[in-house]
């Protein structure tokens, strides 16, 4: 086995894991580690039937996201964004969101309907993508993860308190 291949056993981290609430560090260099991380992220995203995943969700405090709107079945449109940032947004839409790191909960969230994102690809080249609707929502959701924000941070205090109580009960039952 070549020595430059990194074998990692990553998993999806679930709220209330602290890494999910921390701001991720910028990637300084796109190397084998970042490329392997992005492959692991894509694999986990597909295995868990997601369309987007951020590095903090797999325990890495780095500014990397993967997105594939073709879904886990087709796997035809995989994008990896390194150090992504939203540089423009417009209009609003409210849609139902869920998250691989927020177990058993979906709710409506208001976000920009169109965004323009600047990032690096895995070759270190700057890319600028514009998108709308599901693409824009997914990118905002994943970039929020890089900033330590979960979609449940966008909901009312009452709904959040109810969800937190549910999580606390799950965790207590898990200990038994």
> Could you tell me if residue 174 is left (phi over 0), alpha (psi between -120 and 50 degrees) or otherwise beta?
alpha
Q: Count the neighbouring beta carbons within 10 Å of the beta carbon of residue 145.
A: 24
Q: How far is CA 164 from CA 22, 131, 174, in A?
A: 18, 33, 15
Separation of first and last alpha carbons in the chain? 42
Q: Count the neighbouring beta carbons within 10 Å of the beta carbon of residue 162.
A: 12
The catalytic site residues sit at 142
Alpha-helical segments (H) within the chain: 32-47, 71-74, 134-146, 157-175
- Rounded to the nearest 5°, which phi and psi values hold at 13? -85, 135
């Amino acid at each position: 086995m070549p020595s430059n291949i990194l074998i990692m056993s990553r998993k999806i981290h679930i709220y209330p894991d602290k890494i999910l609430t921390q701001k991720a560090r910028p990637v300084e260099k796109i190397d084998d580690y970042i490329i392997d991380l992005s492959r692991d992220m894509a694999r986990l995203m597909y295995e868990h039937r997601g369309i987007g995943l951020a590095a903090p969700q797999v325990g890495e405090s780095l500014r990397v996201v993967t997105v594939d709107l073709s879904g886990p079945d087709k796997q035809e449109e995989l994008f990896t964004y390194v150090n992504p940032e939203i540089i423009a947004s417009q209009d609003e839409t409210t849609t139902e969101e869920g998250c691989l790191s927020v177990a058993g909960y979906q709710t409506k969230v208001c976000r920009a309907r169109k965004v323009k994102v600047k990032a690096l690809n895995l070759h270190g080249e700057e890319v600028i993508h514009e998108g709308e609707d599901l693409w824009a929502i997914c990118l905002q959701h994943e970039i929020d993860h890089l900033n330590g924000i979960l979609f449940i941070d966008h909901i009312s205090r009452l709904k959040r308190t109810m969800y937190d109580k549910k999580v606390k009960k799950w965790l207590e039952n898990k200990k038994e």
